[in-house]
């Protein structure tokens, strides 16, 4: 999961659409995050030793990652997050809107796709097909 605790986010779908806040907890196993003061649910509790008065508690519930976007700290715009592997081998997180994170990374370039199948594999595949076609009919 590319989001981290402390990231500033904006909600893009749901009843809290358009609101901004920070991530307080990340749940990668379920693909959800808990966001401060958003997706609030009311929990009715009985009196107990921990809560002697009981009452109604407001709890921030987890929300799916698909409903939020990270905010780029330099531009303040919603952005997708990517990674760049630098020449020294360190991996750095970047925001794709401005192609940097705190001015440290450069924009990631797409890798070049390798050439098509090698000729040796293509020839063996052709010879296998010709053997199966040359069978006799009974």
Q: What is the pLDDT of residues 27-69, one digit of tens each?
A: 999 999 999 999 999 999 999 998 899 899 999 999 999 999 9
State mean pLDDT over 78-92. Answer: 86
Provide the whole-model pTM: 0.63
State mean pLDDT over 10-16. Answer: 92
User: 89 and 102 in one domain?
Assistant: yes
| pLDDT level of residue 105 (50, 70, 90 thresholds) | very low
State mean pLDDT over 102-109. Answer: 49
User: 83 and 57 in one domain?
Assistant: no
Smallest CA-to-CA distance from 35 within 50, 14, 54, 52 is with 14
User: 8 and 67 in one domain?
Assistant: yes
DSSP per-residue letters across 104-129: ------PPPPPPS--HHHHHHHHHHH
DSSP per-residue letters across 23-80: EEEEETTTTEEEETTSSEEEEEE---SSSTT-EEEEEEPEEEGGGEEEEPTTT-SEE-
User: 81 and 65 in one domain?
Assistant: no
User: 60 and 1 in one domain?
Assistant: yes
Please give the residue range of the domain that contains residue 79: 75-112
């Amino acid at each position: 999961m590319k989001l981290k605790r402390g990231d500033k986010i904006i909600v893009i779908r749901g009843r809290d659409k358009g609101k901004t806040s920070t991530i307080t907890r990340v749940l990668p196993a379920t693909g959800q995050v808990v966001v401060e003061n958003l997706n609030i649910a009311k929990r009715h509790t009985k009196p107990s030793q921990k809560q002697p008065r009981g009452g109604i508690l407001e709890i921030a519930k987890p929300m799916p990652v698909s409903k939020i976007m990270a905010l780029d700290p330099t531009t303040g715009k919603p952005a997708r997050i990517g990674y760049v592997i630098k020449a020294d081998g360190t991996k750095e997180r970047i925001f794709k809107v401005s192609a940097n994170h705190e001015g440290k990374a450069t924009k990631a370039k797409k890798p070049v796709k390798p050439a098509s199948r090698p000729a040796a594999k293509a020839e063996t595949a052709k010879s296998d097909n010709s053997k199966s076609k040359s069978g006799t009919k009974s």
